[in-house]
C-alpha cells in the first residue's frame, strides 16, 4: 500500500526566512509520481509540481525548490525568503503510474505553514 508522511504538522516562520517542508513516501511501485499541492486559507487546492520516479533532478521555480531523493524516499519542498502569501497548508501526494485511466492520489496529512511579519 502507498503511504505519504508529512511529519511536520505546523511550521511558523518570520517573513524572509527559508523553510523546508518534509515529505517521505512508501510505495512498492518502481514507477510512480510525486506531487505538491498548496491549499491557501481560501480553500482551493493549487497544483505546484509533479515529478516522476525516474527524474531525480532538483527543480527550482522562483522562490520554490524541490529536492527528490529516491534513496531516502523523500520529496522535500523549500520556500526561500518566505512571504506572508505563502501561508497555507501544503500537501505532498503520491500516485502510481497507471496507463490512461485515472490517477489515484494518496495524500499526506499536510503541513500548515504560517508566515508572519
**Binding region for another protein (CB under 8 A):** 31-33, 35, 37, 39, 42-47, 50, 52, 89, 91, 95-105, 107, 109-110
Minimal distance in Å, beta carbon 81 to another protein? 26
CB nearer to another protein: pick between 16 and 104? 104
Closer by beta carbon to another protein, 37 or else 75: 37
Look up residue 21 and give its three cell numbers. Answer: 517542508
Q: Considering the complex, what minimum distance in angstroms separates the CB of residue 46 from another protein?
A: 8
The values of phi and psi at residue 86, to 5°, are -80, -10
Nearest distance from residue 44's CB to another protein, in Å?
A: 5
13 vs 105, which CB is nearer to another protein? 105
Closest CA to 33 of 90, 91, 101, 97: 97
Is 61 or 117 the residue whose CB approaches another protein more closely?
61
Separation of alpha carbons 21 and 27, rounded Å? 20
Per DSSP (E only), the strands in 1-117 are 3-5, 10-14, 19-21, 24-26, 32-39, 46-52, 59-61, 64-69, 74-79, 88-96, 105-107, 111-116
Q: Closest approach of Cβ 97 to another protein, in Å?
A: 4
Amino acid at each position: 500500500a502507498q503511504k505519504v508522511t508529512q511529519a511536520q504538522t505546523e511550521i511558523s516562520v518570520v517573513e524572509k526566512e527559508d523553510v523546508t517542508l518534509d515529505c517521505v513516501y512508501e510505495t512498492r511501485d518502481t514507477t510512480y509520481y510525486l506531487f505538491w499541492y498548496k491549499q491557501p486559507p481560501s480553500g482551493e487546492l493549487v497544483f505546484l509540481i509533479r515529478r516522476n520516479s525516474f527524474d531525480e533532478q532538483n527543480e527550482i521555480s522562483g522562490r520554490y525548490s524541490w529536492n527528490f531523493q529516491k534513496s531516502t524516499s523523500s520529496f522535500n519542498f523549500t520556500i526561500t525568503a518566505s512571504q506572508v502569501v505563502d501561508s497555507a497548508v501544503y500537501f505532498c501526494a503520491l500516485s502510481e503510474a497507471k496507463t490512461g485511466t485515472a490517477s489515484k492520489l494518496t495524500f499526506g496529512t499536510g503541513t500548515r505553514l504560517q508566515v508572519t511579519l
